[in-house]
Amino acid sequence: MNNIFKILLVSVVGIFVLAGCRAASVYNVVDNPVSVKTGVDDEKIYKAIKTAGSGLGWQITKVKPGLAQGQLNIRKHTAIVDIPYSSTSYSIKYKSSSALDYNAEKNTIHNNYNGWIQNLSNAIQVQLNQLQD
Residue 128: the pLDDT is 95
pLDDT score at 2: 56
Residue 96 has pLDDT above 90, yes or no: yes
- Return the pLDDT at 19: 46
C-alpha to C-alpha distance for 44 and 46, rounded to whole angstroms = 5
Q: Which domains does the chain have, with CATH numbers?
A: 30-132 (3.30.310.80)
> What is the tens place of the pLDDT at every residue in 36-79?
888 899 999 999 999 999 999 999 999 999 999 999 999 999 99
Measured on CA atoms in the order 48, 51, 55, 59, is the torsion positive or negative?
A: positive
**pLDDT at residue 4, as a whole number:** 60
Q: Is the pLDDT of residue 125 over 80?
A: yes
pLDDT of 117 above 90: yes
